[in-house]
Amino acid sequence: PHPMGRPHPAGCVVYDTFMLKHQCTCGNTNVHPEHAGRIQSIWSRLQETGLLGKCERIRGRKATLEEIQAVHSEHHALLYGTSPLNRQKLDSKKLLGPIGQKTYAVLPCGGIGVDSDTVWNEMHSSSAVRMAVGCLLELAFKVAAGEIKNGFAVIRPPGHHAEESTAMGFCFFNSVAISAKLLQQKLSVGRILIVDWDIHHGNGTQQAFYSDPAVLYVSLHRYDDGNFFPGSGAPEEVGSGLGVGFNINIAWTGGVDPPIGDVEYLTAFRTVVMPIAREFAPDVVLVSAGFDAVEGHLSPLGGYSVTAKCFGHLTKQLMTLAGGRVVLALEGGHDLTAICDASEACVSALLGLELEPLDPSLLQQKPNVNAVATLEKVIEIQSEPGGGHLGSGGGIWGPGEV
């Protein structure tokens, strides 16, 4: 129990203005959808709605280079985790070997970066990306240790595309993967469920735990037979070695006509995500909470029509796992109204507040034909001997109780 007999605070939030400084030197946010206004507007929304007053705020900090190396190579950690100012203090030979030839390109906008999405600001980006990781670490460790009940990390840049030695898709360091690895190493957390509902597949997170049976990675993403960024995340990618069966890709296919929305996501949770998660019985749940599947995001960065409030209900379902130890980390999503609405819904769920009800007619609807095919394929693959979690049976007919 909490000291003084108070209940553990729920709906804890972490945010730091350091993360606002990761901005392309060109200064044009129209060219760069992953801009500081994303987390500023979410933070403002939580303030305006009075939710922030109900939350306990956790102090962030910058992750150390050593912590970042739980997932990333030393070279990658130094490349993106140091600025010209602190680089001189480090062993110059270690750095200036490969880092002397920086891998940055000049972008069409006039700034520099790894690519047009993944921009870099030599003075400020390293502090921002380390702060994003450190904020999530602080929150996740407090939840896993039982000091607080659950929480939401309002962080940027996102992380789930970052691989061991590759920055891509707006991501440099994989905050969720680093947090999971360190919960394993430092707190001996036994089983960790990572749910990634960003519309893009979390290739970096999948890679980090592909052979690890103690981390169940479940991603719901637009796949379109590999034609949607980043192109990975086929349902056949089930893990390797001891990790077979602990990587689950709900890979939607068939574009956006018919649209994919609440019915499809609720049905995926009812038929695949929640049954497998309950069987796995995680000690902690980490959510890569990208909100680019929310209506308002056009292709190529979206295209789906899930409502913001649906994500509140999905959060509430995940809170029935792991004794309620659930940590959400912002990933993608750039339509400000959509990401603010969704963040508000998720924080409300974490606080245990009454959620805006979903449309009751959803209960009568069947998921679209492409989605049914996707879910049937996932269930078939996951029911195979050796890798399977799901017994055959139960048809896919709708979202069930909302």
Catalytic center residues: 161
Cα four-point dihedral sign 32, 38, 39, 41? positive
Query: Residue with structure tokens 């970052």?
Result: 162
Residue 302's closest CA among 224, 219, 195, 398? 224
Pairing of strands 284-289, 192-196: parallel
Structure tokens that stand for 369 in this block: 């034909």
* 46, 133, 160, 329, 401 from 127: Cα distances, Å: 24, 10, 18, 18, 44
Question: Could you tell me how many residues make up the chain?
Answer: 402
Residue 162 makes CB contacts below 8 A (sequence gap 6+) with: 72, 168, 171, 172, 173, 174, 177, 204
Q: Are 197 and 213 spatial neighbours (Cβ–Cβ below 8 Å)? A: no
Q: Are 276 and 182 spatial neighbours (Cβ–Cβ below 8 Å)? A: no
Measured distance CA(320)–CA(299) in Å, rounded: 33
